[in-house]
Structure 1
C-alpha cells in the first residue's frame, strides 16, 4: 500500500515539475523578447562599433582607403608619442579641475531650495539655459569674452587698472579658461540634479535639527551634504565621463587644423578627443586614431571603476 501511494505521488509530481519548467522557460523567453529591441540597439550601435574600432586600431590605412594589419604597432607608437602624453595630461587636468563645479552646484541648489524665495523659477531657468544651449554657441560667446583685444573680461579688468592676458592664446591661462567654461556650462545640469536630491530629503530631519538649535549652515553640513552623497556620486561619474570626452570647446575656441597649430596655447588646450580628431580627419592616420580612441575607452572604464570602488568603501566606512 505504501509503495503504491509513493508511485502515485511521483506520477502526480512529474507533470507538475514539467509544467513548472515550461512556465520558467516561457517566462524567460518573454523576458528576452522584451529586452531584444534594446539589446539589439546596444549591439548594433555600441558593441559593434567598439569591436570595429578595436580591430582598426591594429591596422594602417592608405590615403585612398583600404587597410593592412599591423598588430600592436599603433599602441607602441602611443607609448612613444609625446603629443599623446601631453593631451592625456591636459585631459586629466581639465577633468580634475572640473570637479570643482560639484560643490558650487550643491551650494547654488541649496540656495534655490530655500522656501519663500521669490522668482525661484526664473533663477532655475537662467541657471539651466547653458545646458540647453548648443556647445558651439557657448564656445563662440566665451571666445569673444576671452579675447585679449576687445573681450569684455579684459575691458572690465582695464577699468580697475589690470591689463588682462589673451586668455585662450596664453599657455599659462588657456587650460584654466577652458575649465571655467566647462564648469559654467555644466553648473545648471548638476544643480538641477542636486535640487531633486535635496527635495527628496524628509523635512522632519530639518525640523528636528532646528529644535535642537542647529542653524541653516549647520543643517546644510550635517544633514544636506551627507544625505546627498549618492547624488554627488552620480554627478561625479557623469562629470568625469563628460570631461574626458571634451572636444567641442577646444575645437571652437582654439581653432581647427592650421589655425589651431598657429595658436601658441594649443599644446595646453589639446585633449585626447581633439588629438583623435586631428589624426583621423586632418592627417588621415585612421588606424592610429582608432588606437587613441581605444586608449580613451580604457581610461574612462578605469576611472569609472575606480569611482565605484571608492564609493563602496565610502559607504562601508560610513
Structure 2
C-alpha cells in the first residue's frame, strides 16, 4: 500500500472529536426546532391553557380564577342544554352513513365505462372547493318555505312542502340533506380511487364460478374498499361531531335549539356569553367523546377492515 492510500485510510478511520460531534448535534437541533417550536406555541400551549381554564372562572375581563370541577359539575348535572345539543349532534351525524352509502352508489356508477363520466366526476367534486358560506346560503334559499326551489318542485307534484328551516321537526332533516350533499364530492373521489385498486382477476374468477352481481359486491368489492370506508367513517364522524359553521349560517341554532349542536353551544358560551371556563369544559368533554368513538371504531375495524 502506498503512502497516499495509507493516509486516506487513516483519515477515514479517525472518529469525529467530541467538540465536532456537539456542533453537528447543535445544527441538527436547530433544523428540527422550527416545527417543534410551532407545535409548542400553537398547539401545546393553547391545549394546556384551555385545560386550566376549564377548571377556572374566566370571562376575558379578569384573570382566570380556579374553581375546581365546578364547570364540569354544571355541565354534566345542571345544564339540560348540554344533553339536548349533544343529542342534536348525534342526530346530525346520522348523515354520515347515509352520505357514505350514497357516495358509494354514485362511485360505482361512475366507475363504469359510461360517456362523460369525467364530467360527472368534476360536477360532484366542484362543491368541495367552493366556499362553505356560499354553499350554505345557496341551500338556505333552496329550503325557503315561501319561494325556495325545493318546495317549488314539490308543488309541481301537488305536495305541500314543509317549513324546512323554521319547523323544529324538519330543520335537522334539512341540515342532514345539506350535509350529505356537501360531503359527496370527496367521498366519491376516495371511493373511485379505492375501486380502481380492487383486482379485476377476482371479479373474473367469481363470474366463472357463477357469482352474481350482489355476491361480487358483497364478497369482493366491500372487503376490497374496506380500508377507505374505514377512513371515511372515522374522519366523517370526527367532522360531524365538530360541525357548527353551517348551522350558524342556515338556522342560527333554531328553532327552539333544534339545530344547536354541542360545538355551536360551546361557541355561544365562549363568544356570546364570555364564559370561557364553561366553554373550555365543554370542549374537553367533546374531545373525550370524539376520542372514545374513534377508539371504538379502531377496535371494531379489526373485524371488518381487510388490508391486502
**With structure 2 as the length reference, what TM-score do the two structures score?**
0.85
* Secondary structure of the corresponding residue to residue 183 of structure 2: helix
Of the candidates 261, 284, 292, which is equivalent to residue 294 of structure 1? 284
Deviations 1:213-257 (A, max 9, x none): 3344432222111211111111100000000011111000013xx
Paired residues of 1:139 and 1:253 also in contact (CA < 8 A): yes
The 5 A counterparts of 1:7-22 are none
Residues 313 and 211 from structure 1, CA distance in 2 versus in 1: closer, same or farther, beyond 3 angstroms?
Answer: closer
* Secondary structure of the corresponding residue to residue 162 of structure 2: coil
- Is 32-41 or 50-59 further displaced after alignment? 32-41
Displacement after TM superposition at 1:33 (Å) = 7.6
Q: Runs of 5+ in structure 1 lacking a partner? A: 1-17, 20-27
Q: Which residue of 2 aligns with 1:85?
A: 83
Of the candidates 243, 257, 261, which is equivalent to residue 271 of structure 1? 261
By percentage of residues, which structure has more helix?
1
Instruction: Find out whether 1:58 has 2:55 as its counterpart.
Output: yes
Of the candidates 151, 157, 160, which is equivalent to residue 160 of structure 1? 157
Paired residues of 1:136 and 1:249 also in contact (CA < 8 A): yes
Instruction: Find out whether 1:303 has 2:300 as its counterpart.
Output: no
Q: Which residue of 2 aligns with 1:4?
A: none
Residues 41 and 198 from structure 1, CA distance in 2 versus in 1: closer, same or farther, beyond 3 angstroms?
Answer: farther
Q: Which residue of 1 aligns with 2:10?
A: none
Q: Runs of 5+ in structure 2 lacking a partner? A: 1-14, 17-24
The 5 A counterparts of 1:1-318 are 37-62=34-59, 64-79=61-76, 80-114=78-112, 116-255=113-252, 263=254, 265-314=255-304
Deviations 1:19-77 (A, max 9, x none): 9xxxxxxxx99998876554444333223222111111111124624221111111111
Displacement after TM superposition at 1:315 (Å) = 5.2
Residues 67 and 205 from structure 1, CA distance in 2 versus in 1: closer, same or farther, beyond 3 angstroms?
Answer: same
Separation in 1 of the partners of 2:44 and 2:237?
A: 22
Displacement after TM superposition at 1:165 (Å) = 1.2
Separation in 2 of the partners of 1:75 and 1:283?
A: 17
Paired residues of 2:60 and 2:274 also in contact (CA < 8 A): yes
Residues 252 and 35 from structure 1, CA distance in 2 versus in 1: closer, same or farther, beyond 3 angstroms?
Answer: same
Displacement after TM superposition at 1:141 (Å) = 0.7
* Aligned residue pairs, count: 287
